[in-house]
Chain A
Amino acid sequence: MRTIVFDIPAWPGHRAGQHLDVRLTAEDGYRAEREYSIASAPGEPVAITVERLDDGEVSPYLTEELRQGDEIELRGPIGGYFVWDPEDESPLLLVAGGSGIVPLRAMLRHRRGSGSEVPVRLLYSSRTLAEVIYRAELDEPVDGVEVVYTLTREQPPDWSGYARRVDDELLGEVAWPAGEGALAFVCGPTSFVETVASGLVELGYPPPRVKTERFGATGGR
Protein backbone atom coordinates (compact mmCIF):
# COMPACT_ATOMS: atom_id res chain seq x y z
CA MET A 1 0.00 0.00 0.00
CA ARG A 2 1.17 3.48 -0.68
CA THR A 3 -0.46 6.82 -0.03
CA ILE A 4 0.46 9.38 -2.65
CA VAL A 5 -0.13 13.08 -2.08
CA PHE A 6 -0.50 15.35 -5.07
CA ASP A 7 0.17 19.01 -5.48
CA ILE A 8 -2.57 20.21 -7.82
CA PRO A 9 -2.56 23.97 -8.26
CA ALA A 10 -5.94 24.18 -9.99
CA TRP A 11 -7.80 21.62 -7.86
CA PRO A 12 -11.39 22.85 -7.43
CA GLY A 13 -11.99 20.93 -4.21
CA HIS A 14 -13.76 17.64 -3.72
CA ARG A 15 -16.30 15.85 -1.53
CA ALA A 16 -15.63 12.91 0.73
CA GLY A 17 -16.17 9.71 -1.24
CA GLN A 18 -15.35 11.05 -4.67
CA HIS A 19 -12.61 9.60 -6.80
CA LEU A 20 -10.14 10.73 -9.40
CA ASP A 21 -8.77 9.17 -12.57
CA VAL A 22 -5.07 8.58 -13.09
CA ARG A 23 -3.70 8.34 -16.61
CA LEU A 24 -0.25 6.98 -17.40
CA THR A 25 1.31 7.40 -20.83
CA ALA A 26 4.31 5.45 -22.11
CA GLU A 27 6.80 6.93 -24.58
CA ASP A 28 5.09 5.34 -27.56
CA GLY A 29 1.76 6.84 -26.57
CA TYR A 30 0.33 3.70 -24.95
CA ARG A 31 -2.03 4.72 -22.16
CA ALA A 32 -3.45 3.10 -19.10
CA GLU A 33 -6.08 4.71 -16.91
CA ARG A 34 -7.56 3.77 -13.57
CA GLU A 35 -9.85 5.25 -10.94
CA TYR A 36 -8.83 5.76 -7.33
CA SER A 37 -10.89 6.95 -4.40
CA ILE A 38 -9.63 10.14 -2.85
CA ALA A 39 -8.24 9.29 0.58
CA SER A 40 -8.13 12.82 1.93
CA ALA A 41 -10.89 15.07 3.20
CA PRO A 42 -12.04 18.23 1.45
CA GLY A 43 -9.55 20.95 2.20
CA GLU A 44 -6.63 18.58 2.71
CA PRO A 45 -4.01 17.97 0.02
CA VAL A 46 -5.40 15.51 -2.50
CA ALA A 47 -4.21 11.99 -1.77
CA ILE A 48 -4.92 8.46 -2.95
CA THR A 49 -3.96 5.17 -1.33
CA VAL A 50 -3.00 2.50 -3.82
CA GLU A 51 -2.80 -1.23 -3.20
CA ARG A 52 -0.22 -2.97 -5.31
CA LEU A 53 -1.88 -5.76 -7.26
CA ASP A 54 0.45 -8.52 -8.44
CA ASP A 55 -1.27 -8.66 -11.81
CA GLY A 56 -1.85 -4.92 -11.91
CA GLU A 57 -0.69 -2.63 -14.66
CA VAL A 58 -0.99 0.75 -12.99
CA SER A 59 -0.66 -0.08 -9.30
CA PRO A 60 2.91 -1.44 -9.53
CA TYR A 61 3.92 1.81 -11.22
CA LEU A 62 2.22 3.97 -8.63
CA THR A 63 3.47 2.02 -5.65
CA GLU A 64 7.02 1.31 -6.80
CA GLU A 65 8.15 3.60 -9.63
CA LEU A 66 6.50 6.97 -9.05
CA ARG A 67 8.83 9.36 -7.24
CA GLN A 68 8.45 12.64 -5.45
CA GLY A 69 8.59 15.41 -8.02
CA ASP A 70 7.18 13.33 -10.88
CA GLU A 71 4.30 14.74 -12.85
CA ILE A 72 1.16 12.74 -13.42
CA GLU A 73 -2.07 13.25 -15.34
CA LEU A 74 -5.16 13.29 -13.17
CA ARG A 75 -8.80 14.02 -13.73
CA GLY A 76 -11.40 14.82 -11.15
CA PRO A 77 -13.10 14.96 -8.80
CA ILE A 78 -15.63 12.48 -10.08
CA GLY A 79 -18.79 11.07 -8.60
CA GLY A 80 -21.72 12.57 -6.78
CA TYR A 81 -23.55 9.63 -5.30
CA PHE A 82 -21.17 7.81 -2.98
CA VAL A 83 -20.39 10.98 -1.04
CA TRP A 84 -20.95 12.15 2.50
CA ASP A 85 -21.49 15.77 3.47
CA PRO A 86 -21.61 17.07 7.04
CA GLU A 87 -25.04 18.61 6.36
CA ASP A 88 -26.39 15.08 6.63
CA GLU A 89 -27.13 14.44 10.28
CA SER A 90 -28.02 10.75 10.01
CA PRO A 91 -26.04 8.26 12.04
CA LEU A 92 -23.38 6.87 9.77
CA LEU A 93 -22.57 3.23 9.16
CA LEU A 94 -19.35 2.72 7.27
CA VAL A 95 -18.51 -0.82 6.20
CA ALA A 96 -15.15 -1.49 4.57
CA GLY A 97 -13.67 -4.61 3.04
CA GLY A 98 -9.92 -4.38 2.54
CA SER A 99 -8.97 -1.33 0.48
CA GLY A 100 -12.62 -0.27 0.53
CA ILE A 101 -11.62 1.73 3.60
CA VAL A 102 -10.12 4.47 1.42
CA PRO A 103 -13.21 6.60 0.61
CA LEU A 104 -14.62 5.91 4.07
CA ARG A 105 -11.46 7.25 5.66
CA ALA A 106 -11.96 10.46 3.67
CA MET A 107 -15.45 10.64 5.16
CA LEU A 108 -14.13 10.12 8.69
CA ARG A 109 -11.51 12.81 8.22
CA HIS A 110 -14.12 15.18 6.82
CA ARG A 111 -16.42 14.50 9.77
CA ARG A 112 -13.64 15.39 12.11
CA GLY A 113 -12.47 18.39 10.14
CA SER A 114 -15.98 19.82 9.82
CA GLY A 115 -16.83 19.43 13.50
CA SER A 116 -19.74 17.12 12.74
CA GLU A 117 -20.98 15.15 15.69
CA VAL A 118 -22.99 12.48 13.90
CA PRO A 119 -22.45 9.11 15.53
CA VAL A 120 -20.42 6.75 13.38
CA ARG A 121 -19.83 3.03 13.42
CA LEU A 122 -17.08 1.71 11.18
CA LEU A 123 -16.97 -2.01 10.53
CA TYR A 124 -13.68 -2.85 8.82
CA SER A 125 -13.01 -6.32 7.50
CA SER A 126 -9.40 -7.17 6.83
CA ARG A 127 -7.55 -10.44 6.35
CA THR A 128 -4.97 -9.62 9.04
CA LEU A 129 -4.22 -6.82 11.44
CA ALA A 130 -1.09 -5.99 9.47
CA GLU A 131 -3.21 -5.32 6.40
CA VAL A 132 -5.43 -2.78 8.12
CA ILE A 133 -4.80 0.52 6.34
CA TYR A 134 -4.57 3.75 8.36
CA ARG A 135 -4.48 1.68 11.50
CA ALA A 136 -2.80 4.23 13.76
CA GLU A 137 -5.28 6.84 12.65
CA LEU A 138 -8.29 4.58 13.11
CA ASP A 139 -7.10 3.45 16.55
CA GLU A 140 -7.02 7.02 17.84
CA PRO A 141 -10.16 7.48 19.92
CA VAL A 142 -12.53 9.99 18.37
CA ASP A 143 -15.69 11.16 20.08
CA GLY A 144 -18.73 9.55 18.53
CA VAL A 145 -16.79 7.11 16.36
CA GLU A 146 -16.78 3.37 17.10
CA VAL A 147 -14.39 1.24 15.09
CA VAL A 148 -14.92 -2.51 14.94
CA TYR A 149 -12.50 -4.76 13.09
CA THR A 150 -13.02 -8.27 11.91
CA LEU A 151 -9.88 -10.16 10.96
CA THR A 152 -10.81 -12.94 8.63
CA ARG A 153 -7.62 -14.92 8.00
CA GLU A 154 -5.26 -14.46 10.91
CA GLN A 155 -5.57 -12.85 14.33
CA PRO A 156 -2.93 -11.84 16.87
CA PRO A 157 -2.69 -14.14 19.93
CA ASP A 158 -4.48 -11.73 22.27
CA TRP A 159 -7.26 -10.88 19.81
CA SER A 160 -10.70 -10.74 21.36
CA GLY A 161 -12.50 -9.18 18.41
CA TYR A 162 -14.37 -10.70 15.49
CA ALA A 163 -12.45 -13.30 13.55
CA ARG A 164 -14.62 -14.19 10.59
CA ARG A 165 -16.06 -12.82 7.37
CA VAL A 166 -18.93 -10.46 7.87
CA ASP A 167 -22.20 -12.36 8.03
CA ASP A 168 -25.76 -11.38 8.93
CA GLU A 169 -25.19 -12.08 12.62
CA LEU A 170 -22.06 -9.95 12.85
CA LEU A 171 -23.76 -7.20 10.92
CA GLY A 172 -26.74 -7.36 13.25
CA GLU A 173 -24.46 -6.89 16.24
CA VAL A 174 -22.52 -3.97 14.81
CA ALA A 175 -24.83 -2.01 12.52
CA TRP A 176 -27.09 0.73 13.79
CA PRO A 177 -30.56 -0.73 14.27
CA ALA A 178 -32.80 -0.02 11.28
CA GLY A 179 -34.98 2.34 13.28
CA GLU A 180 -32.11 4.80 13.78
CA GLY A 181 -32.37 6.07 10.20
CA ALA A 182 -28.71 5.48 9.53
CA LEU A 183 -27.06 6.06 6.19
CA ALA A 184 -24.74 3.23 5.20
CA PHE A 185 -21.73 3.37 2.91
CA VAL A 186 -20.35 -0.02 1.93
CA CYS A 187 -17.13 -0.34 -0.02
CA GLY A 188 -14.88 -3.23 -0.93
CA PRO A 189 -14.64 -6.25 -3.22
CA THR A 190 -17.84 -7.14 -5.00
CA SER A 191 -18.72 -10.27 -3.05
CA PHE A 192 -18.16 -8.44 0.25
CA VAL A 193 -20.40 -5.59 -0.83
CA GLU A 194 -23.06 -8.01 -2.02
CA THR A 195 -23.13 -9.82 1.33
CA VAL A 196 -23.15 -6.66 3.42
CA ALA A 197 -25.66 -4.72 1.31
CA SER A 198 -28.15 -7.55 1.25
CA GLY A 199 -27.52 -8.16 4.96
CA LEU A 200 -28.37 -4.55 5.76
CA VAL A 201 -31.55 -4.77 3.70
CA GLU A 202 -32.43 -7.92 5.66
CA LEU A 203 -31.93 -5.95 8.87
CA GLY A 204 -34.47 -3.45 7.63
CA TYR A 205 -32.35 -0.76 6.03
CA PRO A 206 -34.29 0.76 3.12
CA PRO A 207 -32.24 0.09 -0.05
CA PRO A 208 -31.82 3.82 -0.80
CA ARG A 209 -30.07 4.13 2.57
CA VAL A 210 -27.40 1.64 1.57
CA LYS A 211 -24.87 3.16 -0.79
CA THR A 212 -22.36 0.82 -2.34
CA GLU A 213 -19.11 1.07 -4.19
CA ARG A 214 -17.43 -2.06 -5.48
CA PHE A 215 -13.69 -2.30 -5.85
CA GLY A 216 -11.40 -4.54 -7.81
CA ALA A 217 -13.49 -4.00 -10.88
CA THR A 218 -10.93 -2.86 -13.37
CA GLY A 219 -7.94 -5.10 -12.94
CA GLY A 220 -9.25 -8.41 -14.15
CA ARG A 221 -9.19 -9.89 -10.65
Chain B
Amino acid sequence: MIPTTLTSAGRTSSRVTSSSVSFVSRGFRGRRDTEGDLTRVPPGQHVTEDFPVLSAGPTPHTPLDEWTFSIVNGDERETWTWDEFRALPSETVTVDIHCVTRWSKLDTTWEGVSIDTLLEQVEHEAAYVLAFCDGGYTTNLPLEDVSDGKAWVAFAYDGEPLDPEHGGPARLLVPHLYFWKSAKWVRGLMLRDTDEPGFWETYGYHSYGDPWREQRYAGD
Protein backbone atom coordinates (compact mmCIF):
# COMPACT_ATOMS: atom_id res chain seq x y z
CA MET B 1 0.00 0.00 0.00
CA ILE B 2 1.46 3.30 -1.05
CA PRO B 3 0.68 6.18 1.27
CA THR B 4 -0.77 9.28 -0.32
CA THR B 5 1.35 12.38 -0.20
CA LEU B 6 0.29 15.67 -1.69
CA THR B 7 1.85 19.05 -1.50
CA SER B 8 0.60 22.60 -1.37
CA ALA B 9 0.75 25.08 -4.23
CA GLY B 10 4.14 26.26 -5.31
CA ARG B 11 5.89 22.99 -4.73
CA THR B 12 6.43 20.14 -7.11
CA SER B 13 3.55 17.86 -6.62
CA SER B 14 4.29 14.26 -5.87
CA ARG B 15 0.93 12.63 -5.82
CA VAL B 16 0.28 8.95 -5.60
CA THR B 17 -3.39 8.16 -5.33
CA SER B 18 -4.87 5.01 -3.97
CA SER B 19 -8.42 3.84 -4.53
CA SER B 20 -10.68 5.11 -1.84
CA VAL B 21 -11.06 2.32 0.71
CA SER B 22 -8.02 0.16 0.10
CA PHE B 23 -5.91 1.83 2.79
CA VAL B 24 -6.93 1.01 6.34
CA SER B 25 -5.25 2.43 9.44
CA ARG B 26 -4.45 -0.57 11.58
CA GLY B 27 -6.44 -0.53 14.80
CA PHE B 28 -8.43 2.63 14.10
CA ARG B 29 -12.12 2.52 14.89
CA GLY B 30 -13.13 6.12 15.18
CA ARG B 31 -15.82 7.67 17.31
CA ARG B 32 -18.50 8.44 14.72
CA ASP B 33 -20.74 10.53 16.97
CA THR B 34 -19.46 13.66 15.27
CA GLU B 35 -20.32 12.42 11.81
CA GLY B 36 -23.78 13.89 11.77
CA ASP B 37 -26.27 13.63 8.97
CA LEU B 38 -24.10 12.59 6.04
CA THR B 39 -26.24 14.45 3.55
CA ARG B 40 -25.40 17.65 5.37
CA VAL B 41 -21.76 17.03 6.26
CA PRO B 42 -19.27 17.30 3.39
CA PRO B 43 -16.48 14.73 3.01
CA GLY B 44 -13.68 14.95 5.56
CA GLN B 45 -15.70 17.12 7.95
CA HIS B 46 -16.99 16.44 11.42
CA VAL B 47 -19.68 18.26 13.33
CA THR B 48 -18.83 20.48 16.29
CA GLU B 49 -21.08 22.11 18.85
CA ASP B 50 -18.41 24.77 19.45
CA PHE B 51 -17.79 27.78 17.30
CA PRO B 52 -14.01 27.74 16.80
CA VAL B 53 -12.13 30.93 16.04
CA LEU B 54 -9.31 30.94 13.56
CA SER B 55 -7.42 33.94 12.30
CA ALA B 56 -4.15 34.96 10.72
CA GLY B 57 -3.58 37.99 12.89
CA PRO B 58 -4.97 40.22 15.64
CA THR B 59 -8.68 41.04 15.77
CA PRO B 60 -9.38 44.47 14.28
CA HIS B 61 -11.68 46.87 16.13
CA THR B 62 -13.16 49.52 13.88
CA PRO B 63 -15.55 51.88 15.68
CA LEU B 64 -18.99 51.91 14.09
CA ASP B 65 -18.84 55.63 13.41
CA GLU B 66 -15.81 54.99 11.21
CA TRP B 67 -17.10 51.79 9.59
CA THR B 68 -18.20 51.82 5.97
CA PHE B 69 -19.01 49.17 3.41
CA SER B 70 -18.27 49.80 -0.25
CA ILE B 71 -18.85 48.23 -3.60
CA VAL B 72 -15.95 49.32 -5.77
CA ASN B 73 -16.26 49.18 -9.53
CA GLY B 74 -13.20 50.68 -11.17
CA ASP B 75 -13.28 54.39 -10.37
CA GLU B 76 -16.78 54.19 -9.00
CA ARG B 77 -17.63 53.47 -5.46
CA GLU B 78 -20.93 53.02 -3.67
CA THR B 79 -20.51 53.41 0.08
CA TRP B 80 -22.77 52.86 3.08
CA THR B 81 -22.11 54.07 6.60
CA TRP B 82 -23.08 51.72 9.43
CA ASP B 83 -26.42 53.48 9.91
CA GLU B 84 -27.12 53.41 6.19
CA PHE B 85 -26.13 49.75 6.02
CA ARG B 86 -28.39 48.83 8.94
CA ALA B 87 -31.28 50.67 7.35
CA LEU B 88 -31.16 48.29 4.37
CA PRO B 89 -33.55 45.34 4.30
CA SER B 90 -32.02 42.38 6.09
CA GLU B 91 -32.98 38.78 6.63
CA THR B 92 -32.42 36.01 9.11
CA VAL B 93 -31.03 32.78 7.70
CA THR B 94 -30.15 29.41 9.18
CA VAL B 95 -27.32 27.68 7.39
CA ASP B 96 -24.63 25.05 7.83
CA ILE B 97 -21.03 26.23 7.75
CA HIS B 98 -17.90 24.28 6.89
CA CYS B 99 -14.36 25.22 7.82
CA VAL B 100 -11.40 23.96 5.83
CA THR B 101 -9.82 22.82 9.12
CA ARG B 102 -12.53 20.16 9.07
CA TRP B 103 -15.15 21.26 11.51
CA SER B 104 -18.72 21.85 10.40
CA LYS B 105 -21.40 23.58 12.38
CA LEU B 106 -25.02 22.90 11.50
CA ASP B 107 -28.03 25.19 11.78
CA THR B 108 -26.21 28.43 12.49
CA THR B 109 -28.45 31.46 12.48
CA TRP B 110 -27.34 34.81 11.12
CA GLU B 111 -28.88 38.12 10.30
CA GLY B 112 -27.52 40.09 7.39
CA VAL B 113 -28.05 42.11 4.26
CA SER B 114 -28.16 40.08 1.09
CA ILE B 115 -25.31 40.88 -1.28
CA ASP B 116 -27.99 41.13 -3.99
CA THR B 117 -29.39 44.16 -2.18
CA LEU B 118 -25.97 45.82 -2.18
CA LEU B 119 -25.12 44.90 -5.77
CA GLU B 120 -28.45 46.31 -6.99
CA GLN B 121 -27.04 49.78 -6.36
CA VAL B 122 -24.24 49.38 -8.86
CA GLU B 123 -24.29 48.88 -12.59
CA HIS B 124 -21.62 46.49 -13.60
CA GLU B 125 -20.58 43.58 -15.75
CA ALA B 126 -18.11 42.07 -13.38
CA ALA B 127 -17.51 38.34 -13.26
CA TYR B 128 -15.55 38.25 -9.99
CA VAL B 129 -15.35 39.96 -6.65
CA LEU B 130 -12.52 40.45 -4.21
CA ALA B 131 -13.73 41.00 -0.66
CA PHE B 132 -11.50 43.31 1.35
CA CYS B 133 -11.40 43.65 5.11
CA ASP B 134 -9.96 45.44 8.10
CA GLY B 135 -6.51 44.02 8.79
CA GLY B 136 -5.84 43.49 5.08
CA TYR B 137 -7.55 40.13 4.61
CA THR B 138 -8.97 39.45 1.18
CA THR B 139 -10.73 36.59 -0.53
CA ASN B 140 -11.84 36.10 -4.13
CA LEU B 141 -15.14 34.71 -5.40
CA PRO B 142 -17.00 34.44 -8.69
CA LEU B 143 -19.77 37.04 -8.75
CA GLU B 144 -22.40 34.37 -9.23
CA ASP B 145 -21.36 32.80 -5.92
CA VAL B 146 -22.35 35.92 -4.02
CA SER B 147 -25.55 36.49 -6.02
CA ASP B 148 -29.08 35.13 -6.11
CA GLY B 149 -29.51 34.65 -2.40
CA LYS B 150 -26.23 32.84 -1.81
CA ALA B 151 -24.40 35.42 0.27
CA TRP B 152 -24.85 38.13 2.87
CA VAL B 153 -23.02 40.74 4.83
CA ALA B 154 -23.91 39.41 8.27
CA PHE B 155 -24.01 41.58 11.40
CA ALA B 156 -25.64 39.25 13.91
CA TYR B 157 -25.09 35.65 14.93
CA ASP B 158 -27.52 33.64 17.00
CA GLY B 159 -29.61 36.69 17.71
CA GLU B 160 -26.73 38.83 19.04
CA PRO B 161 -24.50 41.42 17.41
CA LEU B 162 -21.60 39.63 15.78
CA ASP B 163 -18.64 39.29 18.15
CA PRO B 164 -15.37 40.85 16.95
CA GLU B 165 -13.61 37.49 17.25
CA HIS B 166 -16.14 36.03 14.83
CA GLY B 167 -15.81 38.93 12.43
CA GLY B 168 -17.93 41.66 13.93
CA PRO B 169 -19.22 44.25 13.30
CA ALA B 170 -19.89 42.55 9.95
CA ARG B 171 -18.56 39.69 7.92
CA LEU B 172 -19.26 38.07 4.63
CA LEU B 173 -21.42 34.96 4.85
CA VAL B 174 -21.12 32.53 1.94
CA PRO B 175 -22.16 29.19 3.43
CA HIS B 176 -21.88 27.06 0.29
CA LEU B 177 -18.10 27.51 0.23
CA TYR B 178 -15.44 26.81 2.86
CA PHE B 179 -15.73 29.36 5.59
CA TRP B 180 -12.48 31.19 4.84
CA LYS B 181 -14.48 32.73 2.00
CA SER B 182 -16.87 34.23 4.57
CA ALA B 183 -14.42 37.02 5.18
CA LYS B 184 -14.39 38.49 8.66
CA TRP B 185 -14.32 42.24 9.24
CA VAL B 186 -15.42 42.81 5.64
CA ARG B 187 -15.39 46.39 4.45
CA GLY B 188 -16.34 45.94 0.82
CA LEU B 189 -16.31 44.11 -2.45
CA MET B 190 -14.15 45.06 -5.38
CA LEU B 191 -15.77 44.12 -8.68
CA ARG B 192 -13.37 42.63 -11.17
CA ASP B 193 -13.22 41.18 -14.66
CA THR B 194 -10.52 38.72 -13.71
CA ASP B 195 -10.08 36.39 -10.78
CA GLU B 196 -7.18 37.23 -8.50
CA PRO B 197 -6.30 35.06 -5.50
CA GLY B 198 -6.96 36.56 -2.09
CA PHE B 199 -5.09 36.01 1.15
CA TRP B 200 -5.40 32.28 1.80
CA GLU B 201 -5.61 31.52 -1.89
CA THR B 202 -2.14 33.03 -2.22
CA TYR B 203 -0.91 30.79 0.59
CA GLY B 204 -1.89 27.51 -0.99
CA TYR B 205 -5.63 27.25 -0.46
CA HIS B 206 -8.02 26.47 -3.28
CA SER B 207 -9.23 29.36 -5.43
CA TYR B 208 -12.89 28.30 -5.32
CA GLY B 209 -13.29 26.18 -2.16
CA ASP B 210 -16.30 23.89 -2.66
CA PRO B 211 -16.59 21.69 0.46
CA TRP B 212 -18.63 19.09 -1.45
CA ARG B 213 -15.75 18.51 -3.85
CA GLU B 214 -13.26 18.87 -0.99
CA GLN B 215 -11.45 21.74 -2.65
CA ARG B 216 -9.27 22.64 0.29
CA TYR B 217 -5.88 23.29 -1.26
CA ALA B 218 -4.66 24.49 -4.63
CA GLY B 219 -4.59 21.61 -7.05
CA ASP B 220 -7.48 19.71 -5.43
A216 to B48, CA, bound (A): 12
24 contacts across the A-B interface (CB closer than 8 A): A10-B14, A25-B21, A27-B24, A30-B35, A32-B46, A57-B34, A61-B27, A65-B27, A70-B26, A73-B3, A76-B5, A79-B204, A80-B10, A81-B56, A190-B53, A207-B57, A207-B135, A207-B136, A217-B101, A218-B101, A218-B103, A220-B49, A220-B50, A220-B103
Set A32, A76, A197, A214: member contacting B7, Cβ < 8 A = A76
Contact A214 B54 (CB under 8 A): yes
Q: Assess the B23–A25 pair: CB atoms within 8 A.
A: yes
Residue pair A12, B14 in contact (C-beta under 8 Å): yes
Known: A12-B12, A24-B28. A33 touches B103 (CB 8 A): no
A157 at the interface (CB under 8 A from B): no
Q: A79-B204, A211-B56 are in contact. Are A72 and B3 (CB under 8 A)?
A: yes
Q: Which of A65, A73, A208, A220 contacts B23 (CB 8 A)?
A: A73
Given the interface pairs A26-B30, A80-B203, A207-B135, the reply to whether A212 lies near B57 with Cβ below 8 Å is yes
| Interface residue B178 (Cβ < 8 Å from any Cβ of A) | no
Q: Are B56 and A82 in contact (CB under 8 A)?
A: yes
Interface of A toward B, CB cutoff 8 Å: 8, 10-13, 18, 23-27, 29-35, 57, 61, 65-67, 70-82, 190, 193-194, 197-198, 200-201, 207-208, 210-212, 214, 216-221
A220 contacts B34, CB within 8 Å? yes
A217, B53: Cβ atoms under 8 Å? yes
**Of A11, A12, A201, A212, which contacts B55 at CB under 8 A?**
A212
Decide: B25 and A61 in contact? CB cutoff 8 A.
yes
Instruction: State whether the Cβ of B150 lies closer than 8 Å to any Cβ in chain A.
Output: no
Within 8-47 of B, Cβ neighbours of A (below 8 Å) are at 8-12, 14, 16, 20-21, 23-32, 34-35, 44, 46
- Name the B residues within 8 Å of A194 (CB-CB): 53, 59, 165
The binding surface of chain B is classed by DSSP as: loop
CB distance from A120 to the nearest CB of B (A): 20
CB distance from B182 to the nearest CB of A (A): 15
Q: Which of B98-156 contact A (CB under 8 A)?
A: 99, 101-103, 135-136
Which A residue sits closest to B10, measured CB to CB? A80
Residues of B within 8 A of A65 (CB): 27-28
Provide the residues of chain B in CB contact with A66, threshold 8 Å: 27
CB-CB under 8 A for A80 and B48, given A190-B53, A214-B54: no
Interchain CA distance A175-B20 in the complex, whole Å: 48
Residues in A with CB closer than 8 Å to B23 are: 25, 71, 73
Contact A33:B102 (CB < 8 A) given known A24-B30, A73-B25, A76-B7: yes
Residues on B with beta carbons closer than 8 Å to the beta carbon of A217: 52-54, 99, 101, 103
Q: Is B60 an interface residue (CB 8 A)?
A: yes
CB distance from B3 to the nearest CB of A (A): 6
Q: Cβ of B99: which chain A residues have Cβ within 8 Å of it?
A: 217
What residues of A have a CB within 8 angstroms of the CB of B27 in the complex? Answer: 61, 65-66
Whether B92 is near chain A, meaning CB under 8 Å from some CB there, is no
Q: Mark B199-210, 1 if CB is under 8 A from A, else 0.
A: 110111000000
For B50, give the chain A residue with the smallest CB separation. A220
List the B side residues contacting A27 at CB < 8 Å: 24
Give bound CA distance, A80 to B205, whole Å. Answer: 9
Q: Give which listed residue, A24, A80, A198, A210, contacts B25 with CB less than 8 A.
A: A24
Instruction: Say yes or no: A26 contacts B29, CB within 8 Å.
Output: yes
Distance A109 CA – B34 CA, assembled complex (angstroms): 36
Docked complex Cα distance between A102 and B10 (Å): 24
Judging by beta carbons under 8 Å apart, are B56 and A78 in contact?
A: no
